[in-house]
Structure 1
Amino acid sequence: MRTPVVVVGDVATDVVVVLSGEPAPGSDRPASIASRGGGAGANVAAHLARLGTPTVLAGCIGDDAPGAGLAAELTAAGVALRLRTVPGAATGTIVSLVEPDGQRSMLADRGANLALRPADVPAPTPGGHLHVSGYTLLHPGPREAGLAALRAAADAGCTVSVDPASTGPLLGYGVDRWLADTAGATLVLPNADEARLLTGCADPTAAARALAGRHPIAVVTLGPDGALWVAGDEVVHRAAHPTTVVDTTGAGDAFAAGLLAAWLGTPDRSPAAALDAGLACAAEVVRRPGAR
């Protein structure tokens, strides 16, 4: 029987703008533009459900057509929804500017996501798993909901994973504060830049080891260099899967879902198998525009 997962995080529309060349300030540049489902929490939940993991998503949407559309899409993907509609609020929107090499810049209007309350998060299933998107903790609006979810999961004996979200908001929030908030997490899932910021270590392996001194497991993604798993004295590295990079939007969310689905879904919980599953999911996502 697969371990059930509660995901707490944002639901949003991604407006993905794939540039044909460098931006042209004061002029214009052809681009391919599409609207797709996004939001870090929703991305992880959708991928987990697609991989056969029983998944509940807790979050907020606006009382608008985009919110209704996103809810329908996630339901069709197999996600059980605990989404509260916030009257008068707009559903979150994120504009992703994708450069020719696949790297992207994000412009975020989180909208209704900032209204998340502790009561919006369902009680955890004892022995289940909680995944908290780091964005939930980095704003005073939803922060208490994230902290309450972490406390409830610890009380229920659940395993917990947290991603740090993004270096900019994390730096503004405060590294020490974030580390204190997430002290009870089983797994932390930063990318290399986030791991460096959280630890002050320039080398990703040293940063992963430092984080594994605080948490049972630290998993650090390395972009084209794959990913690291560190638990105690154990260090496992797996190479990235070959792929064509079109858009890196949502790659970290896809990696987290693939890793968690494999880690929670197999009795031996092999680090190498979990890393490979996460990297395979990320490689699939970056081949096309959008996060899912």
Structure 2
Amino acid sequence: MTAAQLAGTAARVVVVGDVCTDVVALLAGEPSPDSDRPTAIATRGGGAGANVAAHLAALGTPVVLAGCVGDDLPGQALCRDLADGGVALAVRTVPGVPTGTIISLVEPGGERSMLADRGANLALRPDDVPLPAPGGHLHLSGYTLLDDRPRAAGLAALAAARAAGCTVSVDPASTGPLRGYGVDRWLADTAAATLVLPNADEARLLTGCTDPEAAARALAGQHPVVVVTLGADGALWAAGDLLVHRPARPTTVVDTTGAGDAFTAGVLSVWTAAPGAADPAAALEAGALRAATVVGRPGAR
């Protein structure tokens, strides 16, 4: 379906972001230049926007995903899998451009490095994005803002959602691209966001604070609600003078790819069920539970 066709749907949440194929390589040890090393390789659906949408649908939250794929078999397969999982699609096919692909090199212990070819995701246009239903929610993956090509679509979506009275959440995406894009520029772009969801490193970069609690409080001076993920140490919810911490769920970590997206979906499933009145502890618990379902296996979903 096109964005125009979806404009009248009753989706509680519209997610805007990348749709990609994830190629996950679980390394048995350090890479071995000029040689080889046994590695378990898996191919999964990925892309930050698609991940959040897929997890929201699995949690029973009506969701539309706005994005782009290439006119190729991977794009068709990704859209089919998302639709089968209950995600309504406002995904445009871009001729002559490949679907995005991300290669994740996962070290023992679960930490990973990512190599990204965003492909068709960079072709996102303002008219690709439908508005949420009245009183609904827009979630914008930060990657949409970090390249000048899809940035106009991200900015238009933010402005339209806020003008329509919808709540808005944004994640900063990744420290490397965020630093290159410019912290002040990103903060200006997202000034109207209701909920911001950085990890600890992103919160430090955005505020200059070395302590995550101080960073959360600083960001909460600019946005109504800030949720900072702390990896194995759990997450923080900051709103005004309120600061709530909840631990991560104990689990064996295989791969951290997509853990932040899963956490975001858990938080949003609670947030959107009670706009403006979500219980912070319940939202953090829902995020931690969803993230724990992801890190114990390869891939983001």
TM (normalized to structure 1)? 0.98
Residue of structure 2 in register with 1:274 after alignment: 283
Measured in 1, the distance between the counterparts of 2:30 and 2:100 equals 27
Pair 1:213–1:9, CA change in 2 (3 A): same
Deviation at 1:266, TM superposition (A): 4.1
Measured in 2, the distance between the counterparts of 1:269 and 1:24 equals 49
Q: Are positions 1:27 and 2:35 aligned together? A: yes
Deviation at 1:89, TM superposition (A): 0.5
Task: Confirm or deny: 8 A CA contact 1:44 1:257 kept in the other structure.
Answer: yes
Aligned ranges 1:203-214 → 2 under 5 Å:
203-214=211-222
Residue of structure 1 in register with 2:119 after alignment: 111
Measured in 2, the distance between the counterparts of 1:280 and 1:31 equals 28
Task: Confirm or deny: 8 A CA contact 1:254 1:281 kept in the other structure.
Answer: yes
What is the RMSD of the two structures over their aligned residues, measured on CA atoms?
Answer: 1.0
Work out the number of aligned pairs and report it. 291
Deviation at 1:12, TM superposition (A): 0.2
Q: Are positions 1:79 and 2:87 aligned together? A: yes
Higher mean C-alpha deviation, range 156-165 or range 24-33: 24-33
Measured in 2, the distance between the counterparts of 1:171 and 1:212 equals 20
Task: Confirm or deny: 8 A CA contact 2:23 2:43 kept in the other structure.
Answer: yes
Deviation at 1:281, TM superposition (A): 0.4
Segments ≥4 residues shifted beyond 4 Å: none
Measured in 2, the distance between the counterparts of 1:83 and 1:261 equals 22
Q: Are positions 1:141 and 2:161 aligned together? A: no
Task: Confirm or deny: 8 A CA contact 1:3 1:265 kept in the other structure.
Answer: no
The secondary structure found in structure 1 opposite 2:34 is: coil
Aligned ranges 1:105-184 → 2 under 5 Å:
105-184=113-192
Deviation at 1:3, TM superposition (A): 7.1
Task: Confirm or deny: 8 A CA contact 1:250 1:290 kept in the other structure.
Answer: yes
The secondary structure found in structure 2 opposite 1:265 is: coil
Deviation at 1:124, TM superposition (A): 2.9
Aligned ranges 1:30-45 → 2 under 5 Å:
30-45=38-53
Q: Tell me, which stretches of 5 or more residues in structure 1 are unaligned?
A: none
Q: Tell me, which stretches of 5 or more residues in structure 2 are unaligned?
A: 1-9
Q: Are positions 1:253 and 2:261 aligned together? A: yes
Residue of structure 1 in register with 2:4 after alignment: none
Measured in 2, the distance between the counterparts of 1:222 and 1:19 equals 24
Deviation at 1:287, TM superposition (A): 0.4
Measured in 1, the distance between the counterparts of 2:274 and 2:217 equals 25
Q: In the alignment, residue 269 of structure 1 is paired with which amino acid?
A: A
Residue of structure 2 in register with 1:284 after alignment: 293
The secondary structure found in structure 2 opposite 1:10 is: coil
CA deviation map 1:81-109 (0-9, x unaligned): 00000000000000000001100000000
Q: Percent identity?
A: 76
Aligned ranges 1:191-206 → 2 under 5 Å:
191-206=199-214
